[in-house]
Amino acid sequence: MNDIVLDCKNVSKSFTDADLEIDVLQQINLTIKKGERVAIVGSSGAGKSTLLHLLGGLDTATTGDIWIAGKRIGDLNQTKLGSWRNLHLGFVYQFHHLLAEFTALENVCMPLLIKGLSTSEAQDKAATILTQIGLGKRLKHKPGELSGGERQRAAVARALVTEPSCVLADEPTGNLDKHTAEQVYERILELNDVIGTSLVLVTHAPDLAKRMDRTLTLIDGKLC
């Protein structure tokens, strides 16, 4: 189990809408190994984002079990789950979700400060990864002073700065033009290589999916 960073067994998710039960995910079984790159594709509304939220402990499965780095998250209270998630997972979304009032450096420092690092240690680590991702000259710039591609690269740096076991990325370049998207993808994959973290990527980009170790498709709530 030491090389397994995410594991889900018989996971289903349903919602109730006007007394009608809607099955979004059905009996999902998925194992992600250390350093593995996995793409999840499927049509809009297939449940890809819902699956990522379940894998990250951001939502609760209706049935089934999920393990993050060997711990069954159903056994953890919200405080312990938050700490375990911060230790082992990084998240990148289609929108960067950077805090507007803080600089790029301060935004990337936050997960490290939550983890318990000193301010100086956090700043050193954040500056290093921002430099690696091409933002070494933009450390003191706030999100409003950065381009769309720069903001998304800062979000990638924030997700990877803690060197998590796995990064969950949900259409991380969906709002970017093709050239900028390619630059961000390259940075994600480079840092994935350097840090050795696993990557689970929801994407509509066939070219990127082909660069993953394997591609899974969600169809009618089932993973193929």
CATH of the domain at 142: 3.40.50.300
Q: Please, what is the average pLDDT of the chain?
A: 88
Q: Which of 50-59, 68-77, 187-196, 211-220 has the lowest mean pLDDT?
A: 187-196
Within 73-220, strands assigned E span: 89-92, 166-170, 198-202, 214-219
Q: What is the pLDDT of residues 11-52, one digit of tens each?
A: 999 988 777 888 889 999 999 999 999 999 988 878 888 999
Model-level pTM? Answer: 0.86
Structural domain boundaries, residue 17: 4-223
122: confidence class by pLDDT, cuts 50, 70, 90: very high
Q: What is the pLDDT of residue 220?
A: 84
Residue 130 pLDDT exceeds 80 = yes
8: confidence class by pLDDT, cuts 50, 70, 90: very high
- Domains contained in the chain, number: 1
Residue 1 pLDDT exceeds 70 = no
Which helix or strand (DSSP H or E) is residue 195 part of?
A: helix 178-195
User: Cα separations (Å) of 47 from 167, 175, 218?
Assistant: 18, 20, 7
The three state secondary structure string of 43-106 is CCCCCHHHHHHHHCCCCCCCEEEEEECCEEHHHCCHHHHHHHHHHHEEEECCCCCCCCCCCHHH
